[in-house]
Amino acid sequence: MNNNVDLSVNIAGLKLKNPVIAASGTFGFGREYAEYMDLNKLGGISVKGLTLKPRQGNKPPRIAETPAGILNSVGLQNPGVEAFIKEEIPFLRQYNLGIIANIAGNTIEDYCEMAEILGDADIDAIELNVSCPNVKAGGIAFGTSCAGISEITKRVKAYCKKPLIVKLTPNVTDIKETAKAAEDSGADAVSLINTILGMAIDIHRRKPILANNMGGLSGPAVKPVAVRMVYEVSKTVKIPVIGMGGITTGEDAIEFLLAGAAAVMVGTANFVNPAACLDVIHGMEAYLRQYHIGCVSEIVGKLELNQ
């Protein structure tokens, strides 16, 4: 790495050597990718979404390819938070990277209990997945209303000893409002966007391809929406913004930084190219050198709108 380019970032106390984080649900717990790349090169990893108890996830098929993206309805298959602490953290701590625990649940109590358990674990931050259905509110996702996001953020923050990142869903009328609700309720940072709700149909069977009927759309298809939402949110909140949605190259990542993101997450691209995160890091580095920029944080939010 060129010593003249400083890629390090500090996001609400989460210090990373570069702003590229492997996105939750696309990188497992890092084991699978360690065979193909040096995990030490990553800024961080947001691990597969964790629930309080082990979870099998949804029945297959639960992945469907779409033009420029994929639909997924995996359903948070994971070994549970205790197994993560016991088996996966020691593995990840062999490497020099930030560890972000992504947590999910069906009740606020689930989230609070996980935040409390993870408070004493060797992780660097918690990412709150608020796209889960709240069983006590008739299955409506926590993150689709300002009241829902306020309550869950406030409650979890009381148990959280680590920086708290709230991952925002794009399936709302105005993401600026939910971002502000998260900030006002104690979030240390926000990450966006989570997947966009979509559907694909098998016209011969006349049935949805996914067994769960609908799923989350990710990949290059969502990038313009994600960039716009990151721009809007970064102009609304004072806390750091982590951008994601269709990033496959360093140039893509630079778009998010100019729009106001302090760091980025790379997700679906990992399925196509196991070294996608490294390609993004190298591309960012090349851009900074090209324009003689010494520190990556210098370009955050430096977008100039057309007049």
What is the span of the domain harbouring residue 278?
Answer: 9-299
Residue 1: inside a domain, yes or no? no
> Is residue 3 in some structural domain?
no
Question: What number is the average pLDDT over the span 58-87?
Answer: 96
For 91-114, what is each residue's pLDDT tens digit? 999 999 999 999 999 999 999 999
Alpha helices in the chain (DSSP H): 31-34, 81-83, 89-92, 108-119, 146-157, 175-184, 223-234, 250-259, 269-272, 276-290
Domain assignment of residue 42, yes or no: yes
pLDDT for position 132: 80
Whether 261 is covered by a domain: the verdict is: yes
Could you give the number of structural domains in the chain? 1
Contacting residues for 184 by C-beta, under 8 A, at least 6 apart: 150
Residue 305 lies in a domain: no
Mean per-residue pLDDT of the chain:
96
pLDDT at 1: 45
Instruction: Please indicate whether residue 160 is annotated as part of the active site.
Output: no
| Domain annotation covers residue 167 | yes
The catalytic residue among 132, 146, 160, 277 is: 132
Instruction: Give residue 3's pLDDT.
Output: 59
Question: Is 49 within a domain?
Answer: yes
Residue pair 268/27 in contact by the 8 Å Cβ criterion:
no
Q: What is the CATH number of the domain that holds 209?
A: 3.20.20.70
Chain centre to alpha carbon of residue 90: 22
pLDDT at 259 over 60: yes
Look at residue 237 and tell me if it is in a domain: yes
Checking if the pLDDT of 297 tops 70, the result is: yes
Quick check: helix, strand or coil at residue 101? Answer: strand
How distant is the alpha carbon of residue 236 from its chain centre?
A: 19
pLDDT digits (tens, 9 = 90+) for 4-23: 899 999 999 999 999 999 99
Say yes or no to pLDDT of 273 above 90: yes
- What is the per-residue pLDDT for 136? 79
* pLDDT, tens digit (0-9, with 9 covering 90-100), for 44-64: 999 999 999 999 999 999 999
What radius of gyration, in Å, describes the C-alpha atoms of the chain? 18
pLDDT per position as a tens digit, 23-33: 999 999 999 99
pLDDT attached to residue 205: 98
Confidence check: pLDDT of 2 > 50: no
pTM above 0.85, yes or no: yes
> 220-247 pLDDT, tens per residue?
999 999 999 999 999 999 999 999 999 9
- C-alpha closest to that of 191 among 247, 138, 115: 247
